[in-house]
């Protein structure tokens, strides 16, 4: 993409940094090649040729010669660096050469056996650890295909592997070990088979023992920021188990808008399309960087948004700008097995589907943020401007048809989404009381013991009163309905 003179001046004013460097016309070919190398192994950047060390524009004399010089430097790298054609920019009557190295280059590059990256204003050597991480990120090394250290065949849950092989049907012809070997879940070292990291993550008895940080931390906060009031679940197990547990967490902790329509027909809608959130969870599990052991996937639900943070930036050539169209996976073996199990579409990330589901529900489009430490997706539960306008122009509806929500707080006390459902039910004119069985009918996917604890908690908080004995017991609001209406508003 061509840069205007104003954009180039702005870069110069910001000074040299991780993304900007400049060199004098007399700079050796080796120095130009090193700078291109450092940008290519980092997050891209812009090289300005024709400035002195203080950032003063001195220009170049023979523009063709200097463009050729930059291209020659790029071809010195291994593999050869293919970049957009350098452009000329005239500043203060002098011409400089502007070279842009795009973000997300497809390879790890070297110069005479040296690997450099850009840090602050310097071109620095990549440490062995950073080099390994970069090679994994760009698909030149595969963490998932490496054997898990100290793992043996006994660390695989073969009953799960057998279920998977059975699911494959005709594709799964052969013994189970052969199937897992072909799928990259086992690897040979000498004449013996050992589990790979993918095999442990997908079928291991205790995956977190071998791949640290391979869990999901799911938290529901009461407000818009992190606070001491929250419900948390650390989700562990194999990747298929984590996906299922995360979906259960979402069902339990996403708020529901409850509407009673004509003939008292009850309709529920989650604050976010459940299919969209599930798709994002599957994507995070399938595509995260498992070689990063210091952090796991984080699923945070706030009162106004939902965030999913996944360790490792976007893989390969994928960027926030092309995420809907570009396809690249750092974990193709994991993606293949999850696809076989019906969790993920093999050919895409499902981002377009998420965007479309949010649009269909009148909600804002998701936001994406790619950082060095990880990738974050944010869903907002506020409607789009168009949807808000439509709602404002609609005629008023009857109270029994209105949607009511307490946003996780009732009379100053935190309540979970299930308890909110019960209180919304009691707030309707036709419902003066609720039984344990009726509460369970409102939340059919929740265990009976969880329902009982929710009711006990509401009684202990003084929100409900328990009346009756044993099987004849039921619950009523401890405060008049009029007070509730004021609080809800």
User: Where along the chain do its domains lie?
Assistant: 5-137, 153-210, 216-329+341-386, 404-488
Please provide the average confidence, as pLDDT, over all residues in the chain.
85
Higher pLDDT, 146 or 485: 146
| Cα separation, 256 vs 358, whole angstroms | 16
Phi, psi (rounded to 5 degrees) for 155:
-80, -5
Highest mean pLDDT among 239-243, 366-370, 420-424: 239-243
pLDDT tens-digit series, residues 185-241:
999 998 999 999 999 999 999 999 999 999 999 999 988 999 888 899 999 999 999
Structure tokens at 400: 């029994």
Supply the pLDDT for residue 170. Answer: 58
Task: Give residue 112's Cα distance to chain centre.
Answer: 37
What does the pLDDT average to over 319-327? 75
Tracing tokens 């360790």 back to the chain, one arrives at: 311
pLDDT tens-digit series, residues 8-33:
999 999 999 999 999 999 999 999 99
The number of beta carbons lying within 10 Å of the beta carbon of residue 308 is 24
Supply the pLDDT for residue 87. Answer: 94
Q: Does the N-terminal peptide bond of residue 36 adopt cis geometry, omega within 30 degrees of 0? A: no
Nearest CA to 109 among 136, 84, 76? 76
Nearest CA to 37 among 109, 105, 120, 129? 109
Supply the pLDDT for residue 344. Answer: 78
Would you say 147 and 194 are in contact if contact means Cβ atoms under 8 Å apart?
Answer: yes
Residue 137 pLDDT > 90? no
Supply the pLDDT for residue 349. Answer: 53
pLDDT tens-digit series, residues 68-104:
999 999 999 999 999 989 999 999 899 999 999 998 7
Least confident of 13-27, 100-114, 332-346: 332-346
What does the pLDDT average to over 333-362? 82
Highest mean pLDDT among 68-77, 165-174, 326-335, 427-436: 68-77
What does the pLDDT average to over 289-293? 88
What does the pLDDT average to over 118-127? 95
- Residue 181, classed as helix, strand or coil, is helix
Phi, psi (rounded to 5 degrees) for 78:
-125, 120
Q: Tell me which fold the domain 404-488 belongs to.
A: Arc Repressor Mutant, subunit A (1.10.10)
Higher pLDDT, 284 or 417: 284
Q: Is the fold of 5-137 the same as that of 216-329+341-386? A: no
Pick the CATH number of 216-329+341-386 from 3.10.105.10, 3.40.50.970, 3.40.50.720, 3.30.565.60: 3.30.565.60
The stretches of 375-415 forming alpha helices (DSSP H) are 385-393
Residue 356 pLDDT > 60? yes
Would you say 186 and 180 are in contact if contact means Cβ atoms under 8 Å apart?
Answer: yes
> Hey, which residues does 374 pair with through a beta bridge?
311
pLDDT tens-digit series, residues 473-486:
888 898 754 444 44
Rounded to a whole number of angstroms, the distance between the first and last alpha carbons of the chain is 51
What is the architecture of the domain spanning 5-137? 2-Layer Sandwich (3.30)
| Cα separation, 330 vs 315, whole angstroms | 6
Would you say 318 and 104 are in contact if contact means Cβ atoms under 8 Å apart?
Answer: yes
Backbone φ/ψ region at 263: left (φ over 0), alpha (ψ -120 to 50), beta: left
Would you say 73 and 12 are in contact if contact means Cβ atoms under 8 Å apart?
Answer: no
| Cα separation, 66 vs 51, whole angstroms | 13
Residue 401 pLDDT > 60? no
| Cα separation, 427 vs 413, whole angstroms | 17
The number of beta carbons lying within 10 Å of the beta carbon of residue 55 is 14
């Amino acid at each position: 993409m061509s840069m205007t003179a104003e954009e180039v001046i702005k870069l110069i004013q910001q000074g040299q940094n991780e993304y900007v460097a400049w060199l004098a016309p007399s700079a050796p070919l080796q120095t130009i090649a090193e700078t291109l190398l450092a940008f290519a192994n980092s997050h891209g950047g812009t090289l300005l040729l024709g400035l002195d060390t203080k950032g003063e524009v001195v220009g170049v004399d023979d523009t063709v010669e200097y463009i050729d010089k930059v291209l020659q430097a790029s071809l010195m790298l291994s593999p050869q660096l293919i970049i957009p054609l350098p452009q000329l920019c005239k500043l203060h009557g002098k011409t400089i050469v502007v070279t842009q190295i795009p973000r997300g280059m497809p390879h790890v590059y070297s110069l005479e056996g040296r690997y450099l990256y850009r840090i602050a204003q310097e071109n620095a050597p990549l440490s062995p650890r950073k080099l390994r991480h970069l090679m994994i990120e760009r698909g030149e090394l595969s963490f998932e295909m490496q054997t898990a250290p100290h793992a043996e065949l006994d660390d695989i849950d073969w009953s799960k592997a057998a279920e998977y092989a059975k699911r494959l049907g005709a594709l799964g012809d052969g013994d189970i070990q052969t199937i897992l070997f072909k799928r990259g879940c086992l690897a040979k070292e000498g004449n013996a088979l050992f589990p790979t990291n993918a095999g442990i993550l997908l079928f291991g008895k205790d995956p977190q023992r071998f791949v640290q940080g391979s869990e999901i931390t799911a938290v529901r906060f009461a407000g818009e920021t992190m606070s001491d009031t929250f419900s948390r679940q650390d989700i562990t197990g194999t990747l298929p188990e984590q996906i299922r547990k995360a979906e259960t967490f979402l069902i339990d902790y996403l708020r529901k808008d409850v509407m009673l329509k004509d003939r008292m027909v009850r309709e529920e809608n989650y604050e976010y399309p459940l299919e969209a959130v599930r798709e994002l969870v599957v994507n995070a599990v399938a595509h995260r960087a498992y070689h990063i052991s210091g952090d796991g996937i984080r699923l945070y639900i706030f009162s106004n948004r939902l965030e999913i943070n996944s360790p490792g930036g976007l893989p390969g050539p994928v960027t926030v700008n092309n995420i809907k169209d570009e396809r690249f996976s750092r974990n193709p073996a994991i993606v293949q097995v999850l696809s076989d199990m019906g969790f993920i579409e093999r050919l895409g990330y499902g981002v377009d589907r998420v965007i479309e589901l949010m649009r269909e529900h009148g909600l804002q489009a998701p936001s994406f943020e790619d950082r060095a430490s990880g990738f974050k997706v944010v869903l907002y539960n506020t409607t789009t401007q168009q949807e808000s306008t439509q709602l404002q122009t609609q005629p008023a509806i009857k109270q029994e048809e209105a949607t009511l929500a307490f946003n996780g707080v009732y009379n100053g006390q935190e309540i979970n989404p299930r308890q909110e459902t019960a209180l919304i039910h009691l707030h309707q004119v036709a419902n003066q009381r609720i039984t344990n069985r009726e509460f369970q009918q409102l939340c059919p996917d929740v265990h009976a013991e969880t329902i009982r604890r929710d009711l006990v908690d509401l009684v202990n908080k003084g929100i409900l009163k328990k009346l009756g004995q044993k099987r004849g017991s039921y619950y009523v609001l401890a405060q008049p309905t009029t007070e509730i209406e004021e609080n809800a508003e």
